[in-house]
Structure 1
Amino acid sequence: MHVLLIEDDDRVAGPLMEGLSRFGFTVEHARTGADGLAAAEAEMVLLDLGLPDMDGIDVCRTLRLRSQVPIIMISARNDEVDRVLGLELGADDYLSKPFGVRELVARIRAVFRRAGPAVAEPVAALPASRDCHPVPVARAQQIGPLTLDRRGRRVRLQQTFIALSPKEFDLLAYLADDPGAVRTRQQILDAVWEPNYFGPTKTLDVHVAALRRKLGDPAWIDNIRGVGFRLMPPAGGASASQGEEHIEGGDR
């Protein structure tokens, strides 16, 4: 895996690069936010918040506007406000210094497992021929005015596409697996983050709040107090069709 490390302190970057290389990672090192933004796109970004030229939060925001690359923030800042803001802006995980290389590798692998399936899927089906029917190339789920394309990891509300972070998409897709069904907080954390997740549960609330805001109506995600959350179209919206529409490819 090609990892981009954006870290200005060589005393931190050196051991990290050496440790990650022992686990088979290829690491590119950028010492400033500008260098990190100018670097070739990587498969994973490790982003320090305390950069000399710009705040790492701004780097995260810029990266997320142009790419869905997984981002893990690494910082000596341990304040909850920084963690919440970073996650809300699209970071996939937040690791406070000091930490061990093994823990970082485990988090990289966990984040990449969650983001990886979309990368691994084929980008297109074989074209149809005269002797066969068109080949289905994707399935999109329709929930009222919301369209969820898992294969392309795209979300459309009415006719407008919504930009989601990888974790926001995974959360929405999990709730959409059974619209109207209540998922407990632990079920969501185990499925969207990792089994037996033991990190701050505030992470889930932050991502739910971000999804509600991007969907334009908090009623999309209902909070069942003391239990968990469920996904439902807001009352008064377009008719809720919870089936799937088939997008078929063929000769054009």
Structure 2
Amino acid sequence: MCNRKQIIVVDDDLEIRELLTRYLENNRFQVTALERGEALIQLLQQGQSADLVVLDIMLPGADGFEICRQLRTFSQVPVIMLTANSDEMDRVVGLELGADDYLAKPFNPRELLARIRAILRRTEAAPPSGSEGARRYCRFAGFELDTANRRLRDADGAIVSLSGADYNLLTLFLGRVGEILSRELIAEQTRGRDNLPMDRFVDVHVSRLRQRLGDDARRPTLIKTVRGKGYVLTSTLEQSDESIFPA
């Protein structure tokens, strides 16, 4: 039983909290249900473990956007945001702040379950090269990625904050250095579903990863846009079993 994944549900609607708690527990998850986002931040900062957070946008006090922003300053736990607004901008803003996925209300709990399972599968995926000989540390453009701890450091050794979606996209690029990745491929590999017409979310993910890496969006030199084709990571890649930074 202790191997069950821990899900935290944050929603001010008691009926939704109770519904999701029952449904997810029946599907072999452990669930903690909270009414306010501030309680989530406090819980995680106190050391509560979580494998994924389901976070409503419309919350009393700090809204889901603000809570997601605060969360990303100290945690990479995957986040699925719930929105009652069908406006695409709500979803884009959530993704820009570090959410891994979104779901519009009203929703079928089975779809939420499918999204949760898909994200958890991706977060447990193999290191970027996907080969048996893959090594723990990947170095590129002055950065070092520890694939065991999912931790990225810059040239000075400072930790670069990555969400689960950021990490998945980065490892996709590192596994295919120099190869042009289409938006369709990126959507399929990082989101688990097709990239719909006019869907901006792949572009938002790439833009956010560029920000994390300090790559100028107007004149990117690391992740370049290939017009009409997609994106390409233009860096050499070195892999090692040893870190360049002291333990």
- TM-score, normalised to structure 2's length? 0.82
Aligned with 1:147: secondary structure?
strand
Q: What is the distance in 1 between the residues matched to 2:22 and 2:136?
A: 43
Instruction: State the Cα distance separating 1:196 from its structure 2 match.
Output: 4.5
Amino acid at match of 2:8: L
CA contact (8 A) 1:212 1:219 kept: no
Aligned with 1:114: secondary structure?
helix
Amino acid at match of 1:187: L
Amino acid at match of 2:209: L
Instruction: State the Cα distance separating 1:230 from its structure 2 match.
Output: 0.3
Show the counterpart of 1:174: 172
Q: What is the distance in 2 between the residues matched to 1:63 and 1:143?
A: 27
Show the counterpart of 1:185: 183
Instruction: State the Cα distance separating 1:31 from its structure 2 match.
Output: 0.8
For this pair of structures, how many residues does the alignment match? 225
Q: What is the distance in 1 between the residues matched to 2:115 and 2:80?
A: 8
CA contact (8 A) 2:225 2:231 kept: yes
Instruction: State the Cα distance separating 1:195 from its structure 2 match.
Output: 5.4
Aligned with 1:183: secondary structure?
coil
Instruction: State the Cα distance separating 1:166 from its structure 2 match.
Output: 1.2
Show the counterpart of 1:247: 242
Amino acid at match of 2:9: L
Q: What is the distance in 2 between the residues matched to 1:196 and 1:211?
A: 20
Structure 1 residue runs without a partner (length 5+): 119-135, 234-240
Instruction: State the Cα distance separating 1:179 from its structure 2 match.
Output: 1.6
Q: What is the distance in 1 between the residues matched to 2:42 and 2:159?
A: 27
Q: Which is higher, the Rg of structure 1 or of structure 2?
A: 1
Amino acid at match of 1:152: N
Q: How does 1:150-229 map to 2 (within 5 A)?
A: 150-159=147-156, 160-194=158-192, 196=194, 201-217=199-215, 218-229=220-231
CA contact (8 A) 2:76 2:161 kept: no
| Cα-to-partner distance string for 1:61-107 (whole Å, 9 max, x where unaligned) | 12221211111111212222221111111111100100001001000
| Cα-to-partner distance string for 1:178-221 (whole Å, 9 max, x where unaligned) | 32111111121222221556597311111111111221122211
Q: How does 1:24-63 map to 2 (within 5 A)?
A: 24-39=28-43, 40-63=48-71
Show the counterpart of 1:147: 144
Structure 2 residue runs without a partner (length 5+): 127-132
Instruction: State the Cα distance separating 1:111 from its structure 2 match.
Output: 0.8
Amino acid at match of 1:29: A
Show the counterpart of 2:104: 96
Show the counterpart of 2:13: 9
Aligned with 1:65: secondary structure?
coil
Stretches of 4+ moved more than 4 A in 1? 195-200
Amino acid at match of 1:140: Y
Q: What is the distance in 2 between the residues matched to 1:214 and 1:208?
A: 10
Show the counterpart of 2:129: none
Amino acid at match of 1:78: S
Q: Please, which moves more after superposition, 197-206 or 155-164?
A: 197-206
CA contact (8 A) 2:72 2:161 kept: no
Give me the identity figure in percent.
Answer: 37
Q: Please, which moves more after superposition, 209-218 or 199-208?
A: 199-208
CA contact (8 A) 1:138 1:151 kept: no
Cα RMSD between the aligned structures?
2.4
Amino acid at match of 1:155: L
